């Protein structure tokens, strides 16, 4: 892997929102709506950053019904984040209210008696 390639990977990562998205993805596959809520950014904006990450080959996406789920596919990213940010936050996705994705609505249902 030449310097040019490595540099462009670092460049894509060198953006606060994209970095935070990558950090979220460490927990595992995450849908767009979830990222949107967690970061409190408009949908189009999040989607743009996800596109950048996809174009750079750092993440991949999978469609399931209306939701689109993103995953880390670049092996270096996790190692880099480990160095820079520390160990991965607890495994599994954190629930966010206001988020309507399947993962989040599961507990919302159980919480409404």
Partner DNA sequence: CATCTATATTCAAAAACCTGAATATAGTTT
Partner DNA sequence: AAACTATATTCAGGTTTTTGAATATAGATG
Q: Which residues bind DNA (CB under 7 A)?
A: 11, 14-15, 17, 31-33, 36, 41-45, 47-48, 50-52, 61, 63, 65-68, 100-101
Token pair recorded at residue 1: 């892997």
Tell me if 32 sits within 8 A of 47, measured CB to CB. Answer: yes
In this structure, the number of other CB atoms found within 10 A of the CB of residue 20 comes to 16
Residue 6: which of its own copies, DNA, none does it interact with, CB under 5 to 8 A by kind? its own copies
Residue 40: which of its own copies, DNA, none does it interact with, CB under 5 to 8 A by kind? none
Helix (H) or strand (E) holding 48: helix 43-55
Helix (H, G, I), strand (E, B) or coil at 34: helix
CA distances from 89 to 60, 86, 93 (A): 21, 8, 10
Residue 61: which of DNA, its own copies, none does it interact with, CB under 5 to 8 A by kind? DNA
Kindly state the smallest distance separating residue 2's Cβ from its own copies, in Å: 8
Contact positions vs its own copies (CB under 8 A): 1, 3-4, 6-20, 23, 76, 79-80, 83-85
């Amino acid at each position: 892997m030449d310097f040019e390639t490595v540099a462009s990977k670092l460049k894509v990562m060198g953006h606060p929102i994209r970095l935070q998205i990558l950090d979220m993805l460490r927990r595992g596959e995450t849908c767009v709506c979830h990222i949107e809520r967690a970061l409190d950014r408009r949908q189009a904006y999040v989607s743009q950053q996800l596109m950048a990450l996809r174009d750079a080959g750092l993440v991949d996406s999978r469609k399931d019904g209306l939701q689109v789920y993103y995953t880390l596919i670049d092996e270096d990213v996790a190692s880099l984040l480990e160095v820079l940010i520390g160990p991965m936050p607890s495994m599994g996705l954190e629930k966010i209210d206001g988020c309507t994705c399947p993962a989040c609505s599961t507990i919302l249902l159980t919480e409404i008696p």
